[in-house]
A and B are shown apart, each in its own frame.
Chain A
Amino acid sequence: MDLSSILNASLIYATFRSATPIIYAALCASLTQQADILNIGTEGIMLTGAFAAVAISYTTGSWVLAIIVAMLAGLLMAAIMAVANIKYGADICAIGMGINMFAIAITKFLMTSVFGMRGTFSNPDIVAIPRVVIPGLESIPFLNEVFNGWALTEWFVIVFIVLMWFLLFKTKWGLHLRSVGQYPMAAQTAGINVTSMKYQAILISGLIGGLAGAHLSLGYSRLFTENMTNNRGFMGVAAMFFGNAHPVWTSVGCLVFGLTDSIGARLQAYGIAAQLVLMLPYIVTIVVLSISMVSKYYTKKRRQSSLLLIR
C-alpha cells in the first residue's frame, strides 16, 4: 500500500469537503444546545433543506433562490419543533425523531408525487452552487490542488464559524442565550424573556440546518436522494457534544470525521471491503464522542477530588 497516495495534498480538500456539511449541521445543533435544547431534529431539518434546494434550483434555475427557500424550509421544520416542544411540552428527543421521520417521508412523498422521481432526483437543469476559481492559483501546484474550485458555501463555512463564535461570545444576544441555557431562572430575573430566546434559538438553528441541506445537495453534490443526509445530522450532534457546543471546537470535531471519511474512500481502492470503509466514520464518531465524554467525566472527577489541593 502506497502511503503517499493516501496522504497527499488532495486529502486536505477531501477532508474539508466531506466535513463541511457536517460542520453546518453541527453549528445548527450547537446554537440550540447553547440554550440547553438538544436538537435531535438536525437531521430532518437538513434533509428538508436539501430537498427544497434541489426542487427550487430545478424549477427556477437559481441557486440563490434555492438556498433561501431551503433555509425557509428548515425554518418551517424548526418552527414545528419549537411550538411542539415549548408550547405543547413535547419531549425534545421524541419530537426531534418525529421531525426526522417526517422529513424522510415528506421528501420521498413529494419527490415521487410532484416530480415523479424514484430514489434519486437528478437532472441537468439543477443549478449547483458555483465553485470559486481563484485566478493565478493554477500555476502553484500545491495551493491550486488544495484551494482552487471550492464551492462558495465551503468558503462561507469558515466565515460562518467565526460569525457564530462572535454571536455567542461577544454580543448581547449570545450572552442572553447562554444564560438561558445555563440557568433560565437567572435569565428571567434579569428581565430576559426565556421562552422567546428559546424560540429564537430553535428558529435560527432551523435556518442554519436548511443551509446545511442546501449545501449538501447543491454544493457538496448536485442531486437529491432519499434520506441523503445519511446520519450527517447526527454526526453533527455528536461533534457538538465533542466541542461542548463551542463553534470552533465543534468544527474541529467535524474535521476529524471528514478525515476518516476521505481516508476511508482512498482505502477502498486497495481492495478493502466497501462496507468496512463506509462504517469507519460512524465508528470514529462514536469513539471520539465517547472519549470526549469520558475525559470530561474524569476531568470533573479530578477537579472535584478532595485529594487534589489547588495551590
Chain B
Amino acid sequence: MVENIVEMENIIKNFGLVHAVKTGNFNLRKGEIHSLIGENGAGKSTMMKLLYGMYPIDGGSIKVRGQLLENLTPKIAIENGIGMVHQEFMLVENLTVLENIILGFEPTKGSVIDFDLARKTVTKFIEQYGMNVQLNKKVHQISVGEAQRVEIIKILTRGAEVIILDEPTAVLTPQEADRLFEIMENLKNDGKSIIFISHKLNEVMKVSDRITVMRHGDYMGTVKKEDTSPSELAKMMIGREVFLDLKKEKATPGEVICQVKDLWTSGNKETSKVRGISFDVRAGEIVGLAGIDGNGQSELVEAITGLRKIEKGSVTLDGKDITNLSPKKIRENGMTHIPEDRNLRGLNRQLTIKDNLLASRIDDKKFKHHFLRKDSSILEESNNLIGEFDIRPTDPETLLSSLSGGNAQKIVVAREISTVGNLLVAAQPTRGVDIGAIESIRSIIQEQKKKGIGIILISADLEEIISLSDRIIVIHEGHISGKIDVKDANEENLGLLMMGGKDTSREGLNLEGLNE
C-alpha cells in the first residue's frame, strides 16, 4: 500500500460566473514527482492554489496525511508541510534575500528578529542542497534563476514536505531547466514529494513519476509515465489532436522597412537594459526576437514603439527617423503594436468593446466630426471588426471586464490589424490564451506577412518563434547574442544563445559582475 500524502477529491471552485475547477481530483504519493498538466485556463494552477489555501474551496475535500483540512489558509498549509513556488515569485523586491526567506517565520530574541540564528539555519539548507544564493543581496539585484532557488529554500526552511512548483521552467532556458530538474531529483531522493505544473510535454515526460491531466476545470485522468506518450497526453489535454505547425508561408522579403541602429535604452533591472542592439526588418518577413523574460525584450519593444526613451541610437521606419517620437506620431507613421501585457497596455478593462477596438483611432476623421465623436461610424466599424475577428460576445457595448483571455486578445489583435500600417510589433501575441485563439492569431500574423507587412515577433515560447519567424534574433542581457536563420534553429542552439553564449558556466559570472 502506497501512502497518499495529499488527497484532493471532487474539488469545485468558481470565481463569480467562471467555473475554474469543476471536478478536481488529485493525489500525491510520498516521494514522487507528480506532474499536473493542462492548457492555459485548465484549472491546474487554481487547484494547487486551493491546496495552498490561497482561496477557499467551494466543494470537495482536501486531505493531507489522511487528515481532513477545512478552512485552509496559507498558514495552515505551511504548518502541514506544504510549500509552493508560484509562477510569479512571491518575493518582496526591497527586502533582502534573507528577510524574504524568513518572512512569516522569523526566529526572535525577545521582541527582536534574530538575524544571526536565521542566517545559520538558512545556510544549512543552502549547503545541504548545494544551491548558490546570496543572502545579503536585495531581491531586485538577483537573477531569475537565483530568485527561483530562493523560493525553493524559502519553502524548505518552513519545513515543506510537499513542494508545489507552478510552471517553474517558464522563466528558464532549457539548460537552466535541466539544473532545476537535478534539484528536484535531489529533493525527491531526500523523501520530499513534488508537484510539477507544466504544459510542456517533453519536460513532463522527462521528470515525472505520474501525470495528472486537467481540461477546462475537469479531471481527465492520472497515468504512470511508463504507460503513456506525449501524443496521448496531448490528446487528453486538448481533446483532439492539434498540430500548431502552420504551413509556413515562404517569405518574399522586400525593402527594409524598419531599421534599428545601435539602440540603447533604460531597463528596470540591470540585465534588462538594452545596450547597443541593431537589426533590420524587411517588408513581408517575420523577425523573431527570442530571449528569456527580463533580458531586455520588453524594454526594446517599448523603445521602438515610443513608450520608453531611447538613450542612444536610432530607429527608422520606412526611411523616416522615428527615434523618440511620441507613440501617436509613431503610429501615424505606420507602426502597429500588440503589447505584451494585455491587461495593462493592451486593453482598458473599464471601457466597452467598441472603445477598446477603436481607442487608437479616436482622432481619425472617420470617427470624429469637429470635436464630437461620430457614434454611428464607431458602432459600424466595431460591428465589422467583431464579425471579422469572431469576437464574442458580439455586442459592442459590452464592458471588457467580462471577457475571456482569448476574446480579449482578439480585440487587441483586431485593433492593431485593422489599423493600416507597414510594421507590426507583436509582443507575446498568444500568451495566456486558449489553443483555438492561438491558432487563429498565428494565422492572422502569417496573413499580415503575406500582405507585405514587416513583423517583429517577440515571444518567450520557442516553439512559437521557430514556427512563425523567418529570421531569429536572440537577446541576452540586453545584447544580441546571436542571429540565426530559421532553417538552422532548434531548441538547443536557441537555448544556448538565450543564456548568452555557448559556454554555460559563464552565466553566473556575468550576472554577479554587473551587480556589484
Touching chains A and B, CB distance < 8 Å = yes
Interface residues of A (CB under 8 A from B): 170-172, 175-176, 178-179, 182-183, 185-193, 301, 304-307, 310-311
Specify the chain A residue showing the minimal Cβ separation from B85: A189
Q: CA–CA, A170 to B90, complex, Å?
A: 22
Q: Does B380 interact with chain A (Cβ within 8 Å)?
A: no
- The reply on B420 being an interface residue by CB < 8 A is no
Residue of A nearest to B94 (CB): A182
Q: Are B108 and A189 touching (Cβ within 8 A)?
A: no
Measured between beta carbons, the chain B residues less than 8 angstroms from A192 are: 103-104
| Whole-angstrom CA separation of A193 from B405 in the bound complex | 30
Q: Take A189-B84, A191-B75 as given contacts and tell me if A306 and B267 are in contact as well, using a CB distance cutoff of 8 Å.
A: yes
Q: Select which of A172, A183, A185, A188 is within 8 A of B93 by beta carbon.
A: A183
CB of A189 within 8 A of CB of B515, answer no
Contact call A191/B90, Cβ cutoff below 8 A? no
Q: Could you pull out 21 A-B pairs where Cβ atoms are within 8 angstroms?
A: A170-B113, A171-B111, A171-B113, A172-B106, A175-B95, A182-B94, A183-B90, A183-B93, A186-B92, A187-B103, A189-B54, A189-B74, A189-B86, A190-B105, A192-B103, A304-B267, A306-B275, A306-B312, A306-B478, A310-B515, A311-B514
* B46 close to A (CB within 8 Å): no
Q: What's the Cα separation between A304 and B275 when bound, in Å?
A: 12
Give the residue of B74, B93, B108, B311 whose beta carbon is less than 8 angstroms from that of A306.
Answer: B311
* A191 adjacent to B111 (CB under 8 Å): no
The answer to whether A179 and B92 have CB atoms under 8 Å apart is yes
Contact of B95 among A179, A193, A305, A307 (CB under 8 A): A179
A136 to chain B, nearest CB (A): 36
A307→B104 contact, CB < 8 A: no
Taking a contact as CB atoms under 8 Å apart, the answer to whether A182 and B267 are in contact is no
B29 within 8 A of A: no
Q: Give chain B nearest CB distance to A109 CB in angstroms.
A: 39
Closest-CB distance, A179 to chain B (whole angstroms)? 5
Asked if B73 CB lies within 8 Å of chain A CBs, one says yes
**Bound-complex Cα distance A165 to B78 (A):** 30
Q: How far is the CB of A196 from chain B (nearest CB, A)?
A: 11
Residues of B that sit less than 8 Å from A by CB:
52, 54, 73-75, 78, 84, 86, 88, 90-95, 99-100, 103-106, 108, 111-113, 264-268, 270, 273-275, 311-312, 478, 513-516
A306 touches B274 (CB 8 A): yes
**Cα distance, A257 to B74, chains bound together (Å):** 45
Residues of A within 8 A of B273 (CB): 304-306
Q: In the complex, given contacts A189-B52, A306-B273, what are 17 additional A-B residue pairs having Cβ atoms less than 8 angstroms apart?
A: A171-B112, A172-B106, A172-B108, A172-B113, A175-B95, A176-B103, A178-B95, A186-B90, A189-B84, A190-B74, A191-B104, A192-B103, A301-B266, A306-B267, A306-B274, A306-B275, A310-B514
- The interface residues of chain B lying within 8 Å CB-to-CB of A189 are 52, 54, 74, 84, 86, 90
CA of A305 to CA of B268 in the docked complex: distance in angstroms? 9
Residues of B within 8 A of A182 (CB): 92-95
The smallest C-beta distance from B113 to any residue of chain A, in angstroms, reads 6
Residue of A176, A189, A190, A305 with highest tally of chain B CB at under 10 A: A189
Q: Which residue of A lies closest to B268 (CB)?
A: A304
Cβ-defined contact, A306 with B266, below 8 A? yes
A231 to B478, CA, bound (A): 48
Closest CB-CB distance, B321 to chain A, in whole Å? 20
What is the bound-complex CA distance between A190 and B275, given in angstroms? 37
Minimal beta-carbon separation of B264 from chain A (angstroms): 4
B497 to A: closest C-beta gap in Å: 21
Chain B residues with CB under 8 Å of A306's CB are: 264-267, 273-275, 311-312, 478
B54 touches A188 (CB 8 A): yes
Task: Tell which of A176, A191, A307 touches B74, judged by Cβ atoms closer than 8 Å.
Answer: A191
A191→B266 contact, CB < 8 A = no
Least CB distance from B155 to A in Å reads 10
Contact A304–B266 (Cβ < 8 Å): yes
Which chain B residues lie closer than 8 Å to A186 at the CB level? 90-92, 100, 103
**A263–B339 CA distance with the chains assembled, in angstroms:** 54
Point out the residue from A175, A185, A191, A304 that lies within 8 Å of B78, measured CB to CB. Answer: A191
A306 to B267, CA, bound (A): 7
Residues of A within 8 A of B267 (CB): 304, 306
Q: Chain B residues with Cβ under 8 A from A305's Cβ?
A: 266, 273, 311
Q: Which residues on the A side are within 8 Å of B111 (C-beta)?
A: 171-172
Q: CB-CB < 8 A to B94: which residues of A?
A: 178, 182
> Chain A residues with Cβ under 8 A from B265's Cβ?
306
Kindly state the separation between the CA atoms of A172 and B104 in the bound complex, as whole angstroms: 8
What residue in chain A is nearest B108 (Cβ atoms)?
A172
CA distance A304 to B91 in the complex (A): 21
Query: Please, how many angstroms separate the alpha-carbon atoms of A188 and B52 in the complex?
Result: 11
Q: How far is the CB of B314 from chain A (nearest CB, A)?
A: 15
A172 to B108, CA, bound (A): 8
- Which chain A residue shows the least CB distance to B100? A186
Query: In the complex, how many angstroms separate the beta carbon of A301 from the nearest chain B beta carbon?
Result: 7
Chain A's closest residue to B106 (CB) is: A172
How far is it, in angstroms, between the C-alpha of A185 and the C-alpha of B86 when the chains are bound? 10
Would you give the shortest CB distance from A200 to chain B, in whole angstroms? 15
Nearest Cβ on chain A to B312's Cβ, whole angstroms: 7
* Complex alpha-carbon distance, A304 and B298, angstroms: 14
Contact between A190 and B103, CB atoms less than 8 A apart: yes
For residue B513, which residue of chain A has the nearest CB?
A: A311
Residue of B nearest to A173 (CB): B111
Contact across chains for A175 and B312 when beta carbons are under 8 A apart: no
Cα-based distance from A260 to B84 in the complex (angstroms): 53
- How far apart sit A189 and B267, CA to CA, in the bound complex (Å)? 28
Complex Cα distance, B273 from A305, in Å, reads 7
Q: How far is the CA of A304 from the CA of B264 in the complex (A)?
A: 12
Tell me the bound Cα distance from A171 to B106 in angstroms: 9
A217 to chain B, nearest CB (A): 32
Selected contact of A183 from candidates B73, B91, B275, B478, CB within 8 Å: B91
Q: With A and B bound together, what is the CA distance between A178 and B264 in angstroms? A: 35
* Bound CA span A186–B74, Å: 11
Q: Chain A contacts of B104 at CB under 8 A?
A: 176, 187, 190-192
Contact indicator B74/A170 (Cβ below 8 Å): no
Chain B residues in 8 Å Cβ range of A170: 112-113
Chain A residues with Cβ below 8 Å from B74 are 188-191
- Chain B residue nearest to A169 in the complex (CB): B113
Give CA–CA (A179, B103) in the complex, Å.
8
Report chain B residues within 8 Å CB of A185: 88, 90
Residues of B within 8 A of A190 (CB): 74, 90, 103-105
Residue of A nearest to B264 (CB): A306
Q: Which residues of B contact A172 (CB under 8 A)?
A: 106, 108, 111, 113
Distance A305 CA – B78 CA, assembled complex (angstroms)? 41
User: Residue of B at shortest CB range from A179?
Assistant: B92
CB of A296 to closest CB in B, whole Å: 14
